[in-house]
């Protein structure tokens, strides 16, 4: 690896770290209350927004952004859907 390759790699890694840090969970402001989760479940008719399978408040549930933050989506309840955690992780890993 040349010195120039090393500098380019370092710059790329710095850019990736900067972009990633913009979307860390700790930076997000929206925190759903239990009441909001129940309201979303009712609105979704107790169905996972990804798989359509039955979804209950006692399940391992993720709040998923309908329009991802990385694509300009907002961190607001109107942009949230409840999904099974495993479905959300599969979706995330496929992108």
Q: Is the pLDDT of residue 53 over 90?
A: yes
- Rounded to an integer, the average pLDDT of 6-19 is 69
pLDDT at 2: 74
* Structural domain count, the chain: 1
Q: Is the pLDDT of residue 9 over 80?
A: no
pLDDT at 18: 58
Task: Give the pLDDT band of residue 8 (cuts 50, 70, 90).
Answer: confident
The answer, as to whether pTM is greater than 0.75, is no
Q: 86 near 68, Cβ under 8 Å?
A: no
pLDDT at 55: 96
DSSP readout, 54-81? B--TTS-EEEEESS-GGGT--SSGGGEE
pLDDT at 23: 52
Assign residue 39 the CATH number of its domain.
3.40.1800
The range of the structural domain enclosing residue 16 comes to 3-93
């Amino acid at each position: 690896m040349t010195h120039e390759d090393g500098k380019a790699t370092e710059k790329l890694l710095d850019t990736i770290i900067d972009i990633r840090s913009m979307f860390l969970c700790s930076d997000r402001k929206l925190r759903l209350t239990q009441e909001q989760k129940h309201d979303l479940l009712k609105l979704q008719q107790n169905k996972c927004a990804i798989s359509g399978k039955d979804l209950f408040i006692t399940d391992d549930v993720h709040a998923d952004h309908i329009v991802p933050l990385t694509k300009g989506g907002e961190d607001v309840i109107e942009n949230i859907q409840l999904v099974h955690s495993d479905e959300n992780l599969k979706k995330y890993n496929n992108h």
